Amino acid sequence: MAIGIGLYFAVPVEPHGTLLWCAGLFSIFCMWIARGREADTAALILGFALICAGFSIGGARAHSVSGPVLGWRFYGPIEGHVIKIDRSASDAVRLTLSDVRLADLSPDQTPKRVRVALHGAEIGVTPEPGMIIGLTGHLSPPSGPVEPGGFDFQRHAWFQKIGAIGYTRSPVVQVMPRASDGGIYGLRMRLSQQIQARMPDDVAGVAAAITTGDRSAIPKPTTEALRGANLAHLLAISGLHMGLLAGFVFASVRLGIALFPYIALRINGKKVAACVALVASSGYLLLSGSSVSTERAFVMTSVVLIAVLLDRRALTLRAVAIAAVIVLLLRPEALMGPGFQMSFAATAALVGVFGWLRDHQVPLGPRWLRPLSAVVLSSFVAGLATAPFAAMHFNHVAHYGLLANVVSVPVMGTLVMPSAVVAAVLAPVGLVWIPLWVMEQGLRWIVTVAEFVSALDGARGGVKRGGPWVLPLIAMGGVTLLLWQGRARWLGAAMMFAAMLVWRAEDRPMVLVSDTGGLVGVVTPDGRALSKAKGQGFIARNWLENDGSMATQERAAQLWSGAMKTASFGAVIHVSGKRALSAFAGCKIGYLVVFSMPYEAELPCEVIDADDLKATGALAIYKTNEGTSTKTARAMAGRRLWNDGEIRAR
C-alpha cells in the first residue's frame, strides 16, 4: 500500500480522476480473483492489488482536501476564526485562521485556511482559540521547494488546507464576540496556561508540550538543546508518550484489581485494565490535539490493547502492519513525512529485535540488570533504525544521542508521564501541585541532560541531503531484513548498504538560486558562499543544512566576493535591489548574472532574472563533464493539484 501511495506522489503529472477510479476498482477485482488461489500466487495478486489501492487512496485524499489557493500577493484586511496558535521558525506568534474573509475576494476564491505570523511590536488583543479577529496583512501562495527536489511546502500546506501564508505588522482586533470557547483546542490551551502558571519558566513550556501538545511556550534555546542531544522526540506526543501513559494506566488498574482478591477472582483484570487504558489513551489523543504523530501512536496503542482483549499476542509485526495500514488509510500523505517513517521504523525494529530475543531466549543479563539493559538496547535499536530517516530529513546526526536517551527516557517513563496521569486524577480535589512538582524535577533533569550533551564538542554533525532513491532503498532493505526467512534476508542488508553508497555519491549543486532571485549560493573549497548575510534566512538555512554544513548564514556570507569564480562560469554575480542594479557595471562572456528584478537589456553573459524564476522556481546548476546541467524546482515538482491552478480548475 505504501508503494502505491509513494507512486501517486512521485508521478510528474496529476493522474486523471478516471485513472484513480480504475486503480481502485482494479484493486478490488484483484482481491476477488485471489480467493482460492495457492498461497504464493494469492500473495502476489494481493500485493499488486494493494499497490493499486494505495495509488487510488493517495489521489482520493488529495482531492478530498481540495480548496482555493491564493494566486497572487495580497495586502489588505483579513478576517477569520482562530483555530490554532503556535510559533514560527523566527519565534513569532503565528495564527491559523478558518472561515476566512479577504477584502474584495469572492468566497470561491478565498482559501479555506490561512496562516499569519504576527511580526508587529503591538499584538493588540491577545488572540485566543475560537476568537473571530481582524487584521491588515500580507498574504501570498504557499512557496515551492527552496531548491529542486527539496521539501515541498506547497504539498504540505495543501493537505493542511492552508491556501495562503503571510504576516502582519498591524495590531490584531476582535471583530465580534467569540462564537465559541474554541472547543477541544480551547480546552487544551486553557490547560496549557494552567500548567505553565504552576511551573517554573525553564520547564513550563516542555510540560505543556508533552501534556497538551502546545509548544508555543518552549524557549528557543531549550528546543535547540533537545535537538542537539537527540531528545526532541520527547516534545512530540508520539508512541513513547502514548505507550508510557497507556502502560502506566494498564499496570495501575491491574495492580489495583489484584489488591482485592474477591474482585480479582471474579473478573479478568487484564482485560479491564486494557479497556481503561484504551479510554485513557483516547482522552490523551483528544487532549493533545490529535496531530498526525499522536493519531499514529494512538492507532498503534489501540491495536496492542485490542490484541490483549482478543487474547492475541500484542507486540508482533502483524500489529505494526495493521497500525500502518490504518494510518495510511486515514492520512496517506503521512507516508512522505519524517514522523511516519521514523515512528514505524523504530517500532518495527524494536518488535523484530525483542521478538528474536524472546524466541531464542537470549538473556539480557542478571535480573537486577535487565531493566537497564532493556533501556540501553531499545534506545540503541530505535536510534539505529531512525538515524537514516532523521539524517535525510533534518540533515544532522546527534553523536551522543544514545547517552542522552539512556539517562532521560527512564525518567520520562518513571516520573514525568506517571505524574501527568496522577495530576489528572488529583486535579478535582485540588492536589495537582504534588504530581506537578514531581514532573518538574523529572523535566528539569531532562533539560539539564540536553543542555549538557548538546554543549559537548562534536555533539552534532551535518549530513548532506541524499537522492530520491535513498530512503525507499533503506526502507525496503529494512523490511526484507525483518520479514524474510533464511539467508535471503541478508539481501536487505545489501540493499541498505547500496543506499548508503548512493547517498555518499550524491552531488550537491554548484550554484543555487532562490525562487525570487533574492539569494544565491555558490560552492567554494571552504563551503557554500551565500550572497547575503541577512534576509531569506529560511532558504539559507535549508541550503546549508542540505550541504551537510553547520555554518550560519553570516559565516557563509563572509565567503562571498563580488564575482564568485567557479569551474564552469567565469564568475557568478548577484544583483539584488535597486542600489545594486544602479551600480552594476556589466558582465563578460561566460559570466552568470542573477537579478532579483526583471531585466530586459541585452548582455553578453548568461542572465537569470525575476521573470525567469517565476516560471521555473528555484534553480540548481550542477557541474557535468559536458559543462553544466540545470534543474528547476517547478520541473521536479511536476504539475500537481497543490502547485497548478489549471489542474485545480479542471
The pLDDT mean for the chain works out to 88
Sorted by sequence, the CB contacts under 8 Å of residue 541 that are 6+ apart come out as: 553
Q: Which cell is 507 given?
A: 552531488
Sorted by sequence, the CB contacts under 8 Å of residue 86 that are 6+ apart come out as: 94, 96, 215, 216
User: Would 96 be classed as within a structural domain?
Assistant: yes
Q: What pLDDT, on the 0 to 100 scale, is given for residue 146?
A: 93
Q: What is the sign of the dihedral through the CA atoms of 225, 229, 231 and 232?
A: positive
Together in a domain, 578 and 621 = yes
Q: Model-level pTM greater than 0.75?
A: yes
Together in a domain, 41 and 93 = no
Expressed as residue numbers, the domain containing 483 is 470-505
DSSP for 255-313 reads: HHHHT-HHHHTTS-HHHHHHHHHHHHHHHHHHHTT--HHHHHHHHHHHHHHHHHHTT--
Residue 116: closest CA among 68, 60, 172, 159: 172
Sort residue 509 into left (φ over 0), alpha (ψ -120 to 50) or beta.
beta
Query: To the nearest whole percent, how much of the chain has pLDDT over 90?
Result: 45
Q: Which cell is 315 given?
A: 507486540
For residue 165, the surrounding DSSP H or E stretch is strand 162-168
Together in a domain, 327 and 403 = yes
Q: What pLDDT, on the 0 to 100 scale, is given for residue 493?
A: 93
Q: Which cell is 370 given?
A: 535487565
Q: What pLDDT, on the 0 to 100 scale, is given for residue 214?
A: 80
Looking at 431, 462, 493, the residue that finishes a domain is 462
Together in a domain, 108 and 245 = no
Sorted by sequence, the CB contacts under 8 Å of residue 599 that are 6+ apart come out as: 575, 581, 607, 609, 610
Q: What pLDDT, on the 0 to 100 scale, is given for residue 4?
A: 96
Q: What is the rounded average pLDDT of the residues 44-50?
A: 94
User: Would 338 be classed as within a structural domain?
Assistant: yes
User: Would 153 be classed as within a structural domain?
Assistant: yes
Q: How far is CA 321 from CA 246, 483, 587, in A?
A: 20, 11, 60
- Residue 121 above 60 pLDDT? no
Q: What is the rounded average pLDDT of the residues 197-202?
A: 86
User: Would 200 be classed as within a structural domain?
Assistant: no
Together in a domain, 520 and 583 = yes
Together in a domain, 244 and 339 = yes
Cross-strand partners of 78:
102, 135
Task: Compute the distance between CA of residue 41 and CA of residue 260 in angstroms, rounded to an integer.
Answer: 54
CB 51 within 8 A of CB 4: yes
User: Would 43 be classed as within a structural domain?
Assistant: yes
Task: Compute the distance between CA of residue 483 and CA of residue 491 in angstroms, rounded to an integer.
Answer: 11
User: Would 215 be classed as within a structural domain?
Assistant: no
Q: What pLDDT, on the 0 to 100 scale, is given for residue 184?
A: 76
pLDDT tens for residues 578-618?
A: 888 888 888 889 899 999 999 888 899 999 999 999 999 99
Query: What CATH number is given to the structural domain containing 106?
Result: 2.40.50
Task: Compute the distance between CA of residue 473 and CA of residue 150 in angstroms, rounded to an integer.
Answer: 18
- Residue 114 above 70 pLDDT? yes
Structurally, the chain folds into a number of domains equal to 5
Q: What pLDDT, on the 0 to 100 scale, is given for residue 216?
A: 77
Task: Compute the distance between CA of residue 245 and CA of residue 280 in angstroms, rounded to an integer.
Answer: 8
- 572 pLDDT band (50/70/90 cuts)? very high
3-state secondary structure 73-127: CEEEEEEEEEEEEEECCCCCEEEEEEEEEECCCCHHHCCCEEEEEECCCCCECCC
User: Would 214 be classed as within a structural domain?
Assistant: no
User: Would 320 be classed as within a structural domain?
Assistant: yes
Q: What is the rounded average pLDDT of the residues 143-169?
A: 93
Task: Compute the distance between CA of residue 417 and CA of residue 277 in angstroms, rounded to an integer.
Answer: 14
For residue 318, the surrounding DSSP H or E stretch is helix 317-330
Q: How far is CA 103 from CA 22, 74, 164, 178, 186, in A?
A: 42, 9, 14, 21, 28
- Residue 182 above 90 pLDDT? no
Together in a domain, 349 and 451 = yes
Cross-strand partners of 94:
86, 117
Together in a domain, 148 and 42 = no
Least confident among 161-175, 178-192, 439-453: 178-192
